């Protein structure tokens, strides 16, 4: 059991994209990072290496958080290393890109399971490890949660559920000194963006109406997460902070 570390952080979907940027922003001496990933072993071992180069410790946890039994297994691993968790960041996301009129039940279920239900089960399972000393729970959302985005219905609806769950968890976990918030990005330059149909046209449309003048980077969201993980954010409860370069102002 590790006792020399003063911060224990669990990140779902932590090997690539936004999750990777969050992991690197938190990789400091004295921090122990549990990095969950789905199947890309190469990306996972790369992030483990980079975390340890920065003086932090990493523990890789493979599995889909869309599966309740997997969540139990992951937490058994975590409990082998620590009796407490200081932060839980739910970044893992999954879904298909197609119009809602064409969604199959399993398309809907996988988005709901990984993007929304997982936060519920992760928070419930993390609670015994967090309520002794307090901590932070942060979930990553996206603008499709609140406005129409072509071919994004399954994910958008699940992110709307996620944002509402953030509010409920924030109220109920506040007595345990656990702060729960979200971060909502616009278009972020990641590998999963390449899966969007017609992405180049979408990017140029996005740029036209982004006052910030560029597409978002994973680090842009990691910076907001870093703020929410800090004591400076302790008076913020149940909010989903939009970091989109001003895109949603139009």
Provide the annotated active-site residues: 152, 159
Would you say 247 and 186 are in contact if contact means Cβ atoms under 8 Å apart? yes
What are the tokens at 12? Answer: 């779902």
d(CA 208, CA 215): 10
Shortest CA distance to 116 belongs to which of 128, 127, 126, 108? Answer: 108
Q: Which residues are CB-neighbours of 249 under 8 A, at least 6 positions away?
A: 211
Q: Is 159 helix (H, G, I), strand (E, B) or coil?
A: helix
Q: Is 103 helix (H, G, I), strand (E, B) or coil?
A: coil
What are the tokens at 132? Answer: 């002794």
Q: Name the β-bridge partners of 236.
A: none
């Amino acid at each position: 059991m590790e006792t020399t570390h003063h911060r224990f952080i669990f990140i779902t979907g932590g090997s690539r994209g936004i999750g990777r940027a969050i992991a690197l922003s938190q990789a400091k001496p004295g921090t122990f990072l549990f990095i969950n990933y789905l199947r890309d072993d190469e990306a996972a071992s790369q992030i483990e290496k980079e975390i340890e180069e920065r003086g932090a410790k990493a523990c890789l946890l493979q599995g889909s958080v869309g599966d309740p039994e997997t969540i139990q297994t992951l937490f058994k691993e975590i409990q082998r290393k620590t009796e407490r968790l200081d932060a839980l960041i739910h970044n893992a996301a999954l879904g298909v890109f197609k119009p809602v009129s064409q969604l199959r039940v399993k398309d809907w279920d996988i988005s709901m399971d990984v993007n929304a239900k997982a936060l519920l089960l992760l928070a419930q399972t993390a609670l015994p490890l967090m309520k002794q000393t307090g901590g932070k729970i942060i979930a990553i959302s996206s603008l499709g949660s609140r406005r129409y985005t072509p071919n994004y219905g399954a994910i958008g609806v699940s992110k709307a559920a996620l944002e509402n769950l953030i509010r409920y968890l924030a109220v109920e976990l506040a007595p345990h000194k656990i702060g729960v918030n979200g971060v909502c990005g616009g278009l972020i330059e990641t590998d999963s963006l390449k899966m969007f149909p017609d992405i180049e046209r979408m990017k140029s449309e996005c740029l036209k109406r982004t006052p910030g003048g560029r597409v978002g980077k994973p680090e842009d969201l990691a910076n907001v997460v870093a703020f929410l993980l800090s004591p400076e954010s302790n008076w913020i409860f149940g909010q989903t902070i939009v970091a989109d370069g001003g895109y949603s102002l139009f």
